[in-house]
Amino acid sequence: MTVREILKMGDPRLLRIAKPVERFDTPEMRELVADMFETMKHANGAGLAAPQIGVDLQLVIYGYDSNVRYPDAPPVPKPVLINPVITLLDGAEVDGWEGCLSVPGLRGVVPRWERIRYTGFDELGNAIDREADGFHARVVQHECDHLIGRLYPTRMRDLTQFGYTSVLFPDMDPNADD
Ligand code: NI
């Protein structure tokens, strides 16, 4: 397992539309998923999308037990989600603070759908079909946005609610600032 370099906003590779995964459960896939979990853990992330390490595939991971960047968020299982499709379960949006490992040191308020259904595949090719709400739904929408070249600042509606984590949340664990 290798901790990979995370691309930062401004890198054009973060703006691509990622390609669908066509072959599952290959040695390359297992290595990619292992590296992504190692990279996410190393950076204290709540999720990571393959394009963030320069891999142009529709693959995201997320989940953690307790996360210093989101101390109040409930635990999320540790899934791998490939070729995802998100559908809206109701039209309500909620605002919430987000950060991104590709936008280090900053947080912004982003509107997201409150309740979604998402489908896709795990790394073995097993079908996934889940409903999610709250923080789980937010993380999935944030990570899947990376697969269509969208970083969260492009989803913001009020840029007065965008700033440095260390200024906005001075009491937060400094490890949360990346
Ligand atoms: Ni992100």
Report the CATH number that the domain containing residue 32 is assigned in CATH. 3.90.45.10
Residue 174 in any domain: the answer is no
Give me the sheet containing 59-62, strands edge to edge: 47-49, 59-62, 80-88, 115-121, 127-133
Distance 90 CA to ligand 1 centre (A): 24
Q: What is the pLDDT of residues 88-105, one digit of tens each?
A: 998 899 999 999 999 999
Distance 2 CA to ligand 1 centre (A): 19
Residue 122 in any domain: the answer is yes
Residue 39 in any domain: the answer is yes
Distance 52 CA to ligand 1 centre (A): 8
Distance 92 CA to ligand 1 centre (A): 22
Per the CB < 8 A criterion, the answer to whether 127 and 119 are in contact is yes
Is 28 annotated in the active site?
no
Residue 5 in any domain: the answer is no
pLDDT for 71 equals: 66
- Which of 98, 114, 123, 143 is an active site residue? 143
**Segment-wise mean pLDDT, segments of 10 residues, the chain, 178 residues:** 96 98 96 96 93 98 66 68 96 95 97 97 94 93 98 98 96 63
Of 106, 123, 102, the C-alpha closest to 4 is 102
Q: What is the pLDDT of residues 60-91, one digit of tens each?
A: 999 755 555 666 666 655 689 999 999 999 88
SS3 68: coil
Name residues with Cβ closer than 5 Å to ligand 1, which is an ion: 100
The total domain count for the chain is 1
Q: Which domain holds residue 80?
A: 12-168
pLDDT for 172 equals: 82
Q: Considering the chain, what percentage of its residues have pLDDT values greater than 90?
A: 81
Residue 113 in any domain: the answer is yes
Of 74, 79, 2, the C-alpha closest to 48 is 79
